[in-house]
Structure 1
Amino acid sequence: MKSLIKVMLILAAIFATTFILGRVIGILTVENVRNWLEFVQTIHPAWVAALVIALLFIDLFVAVPTLTITILAGFFLGCSQGFIAGLVGMSLAAFCGYAIARRFGDRAISLIVKDDAERVALKEAFQNSGPAMIMLSRGAPIVPEVTACMAGATRMPFGRYMLFFLLSTVPYVGVAAYAGSISSVESPHPAIFAVIFLYGVMWTGWFLFRRHQRRLNNV
C-alpha cells in the first residue's frame, strides 16, 4: 500500500504543477472560461458544447475547474445538452489517461518502485482499493486524473474501470448540469448548493473509506 500511495502522490504532484502553472499564467480562470462560453454562444450553441468538451478533455493535461465548467454547461446549454457535453468531455479525458498509462505506465512505475515484489503488491493494492478511489475521485481536483492513470498503469480491465468511472461521474455531471440549468446571474443559489452537496457527499465517502481501510489494517 505504501508503494501505491507513493506513486499516486507523485502523479498528484505532477498534475498539481499544471494546476499551479494554469493559475500563475491566468488563462484558465473561471472568469475567462465564462467569457469564452458567452462569446461562442453568440456564434452557435454547438460551439458551446464543443468548447465545454475541449476544456474538460484538456483537464488531463492542465487542471481546469471541472465542476464550474459543468455547471456553466448546464447554464448555457440546458440540463440535457449540458449533461451530455460534460460527460463526453470528462470521459474523453479519463479514457485517454487510462490508455496512455496502460501503454507507458509499467515503465514509469518501474522508475519509481524498483523492487519487483513491491510493484506486484502495488498493483494488487490498487485492484482492491481502486474501485472505491475511482468512485470517490470527484471529491477533489486532480484525483480523477490520478485514478485514471493508475487504472491504466495497473492493467485494471477497461470495462471494470469504465463501470466505476461512470458510477462516479454520471450523477456528478447530472447534478452539476441540472443546478446550472436552473441557476442565473441573479439567482446562483442552485449552483452553490450543488457544489456544497457534491463535495459533502464525496468527502463523507472518503471519510468512511479511510475508516474502513484503517479497520482492515488493524485486523
Structure 2
Amino acid sequence: MKALLKLILSFTLVFISIFVLMKFTGVITIEKVENWLLIAKDTGVWTLMFIVVVILMSDLLLSIPTLATVTLSGYFLGHLYGAIASLAGLMLVGVMGYLLSYYHGDKIEMRVLKTREQRLDARQNFAQHGIVMILFSRAIPMLPEISACMAGMTKMPFYKFIAAWSLSIIPYVLVCSYAGSISSLDNPNPAIYSAISVNIVIWLAWYATRKLGKHAKTIAN
C-alpha cells in the first residue's frame, strides 16, 4: 500500500504545483470562466458548447474550477445542452489522462518506485481500490485527474476505468448543470445548495462503502 500512496502523492504534488501556479498568476479563475462564457453567449449554442468542452478538457493541465464550470454551463446553455457539453468535456479529460499515463506513465512510475516489487505492489493495490477511488474522486479537488492518471499508469482495463469514470461524472453533471439552469444572478441558491449537497452525498457514499467493506471483511474472517 505504501508504494501506491507514494505514487498518488507524487501526482498530487504535481497537480498542487499547477494549481498554485494558476492561482497566483490568475490565468484561470471562476470569474474568467464566467466572462468567457458570457462573451460567447451570443455566438450560438454549438460554439458555446464547444467552449465548455475545451475549458473542461484543459482541467487535466490547468486546474479548472470544474464544479463552477459545469454549473455555469447549465446556466448559459440550459440543462440539456449544458449537461451534454459538460459530460463530453469531463469524459475527454478522463480518457486523455488514462491514455497519456497508459502509454507514457511508466517513466514516472519507474522514477518514483525504484524496484519492480514496489511497482507490482502499487498496481495490485490500485486494482483492489481503484474503482472506489474513481467513483468518489469528485469529493476532493484534483483527485479525479489523479485517479484517471493512476488508472492508466497501473494498466487498469479500459472498460473498467470508463465504467467507473462514467458513474462518477454522470450524476454529478446532471445535478450541477440542472442547478445552474434554474439559477440566476438574483437567485444563485440552487447552484450553491447543489454544490454543497453533491459533496455531502459523495462523502456519505464513500463513508458507507468503506464501512460496508470493513463489515464484509470482518464477516469473512
Query: What amino acid is the match of 1:130?
Result: G
The CA deviation string for residues 169-200 of structure 1, in whole angstroms up to 9 with x for no partner, is 00000000100011111111110110011110
Q: Alpha-carbon deviation of 1:206?
A: 3.5
Q: Alpha-carbon deviation of 1:211?
A: 5.1
Q: How does 1:176-215 map to 2 (within 5 A)?
A: 176-209=176-209
The CA deviation string for residues 121-166 of structure 1, in whole angstroms up to 9 with x for no partner, is 1101000000000000111110011000010001111111000000
Q: Alpha-carbon deviation of 1:210?
A: 5.1
Instruction: State the alpha-carbon separation in 2 of the partners of residues 31 and 206 from structure 1.
Output: 31
Deviates most, 199-208 or 151-160: 199-208
Match of 1:144?
Answer: 144
Instruction: State the alpha-carbon separation in 2 of the partners of residues 201 and 110 from structure 1.
Output: 37
Q: How does 1:24-173 map to 2 (within 5 A)?
A: 24-173=24-173
- TM-score, normalising length from structure 1? 0.95
Q: Alpha-carbon deviation of 1:72?
A: 0.3
Q: Alpha-carbon deviation of 1:74?
A: 0.3
Instruction: State the alpha-carbon separation in 2 of the partners of residues 126 and 211 from structure 1.
Output: 19
* CA gap 1:177/1:132 in 2 versus in 1, 3 angstroms: same
Q: Alpha-carbon deviation of 1:209?
A: 4.9
Instruction: State the alpha-carbon separation in 2 of the partners of residues 110 and 103 from structure 1.
Output: 13
For the 8 Å contact 2:10–2:112, the answer to whether it is kept is: no
The CA deviation string for residues 21-43 of structure 1, in whole angstroms up to 9 with x for no partner, is 11111121111111110101122
Query: What amino acid is the match of 2:98?
Result: Y
Q: Alpha-carbon deviation of 1:212?
A: 6.1
The alignment's C-alpha RMSD in Å is: 1.6
Instruction: State the alpha-carbon separation in 1 of the partners of residues 65 and 108 from structure 2.
Output: 27
Q: Identity over the aligned pairs, expressed in percent? A: 36
SS in 1 for 2:165: helix
Structure 1 residue runs without a partner (length 5+): none
Instruction: State the alpha-carbon separation in 2 of the partners of residues 174 and 183 from structure 1.
Output: 14
Query: What amino acid is the match of 2:84?
Result: I
Structure 2 residue runs without a partner (length 5+): none
- TM-score, normalising length from structure 2? 0.94
SS in 2 for 1:174: helix
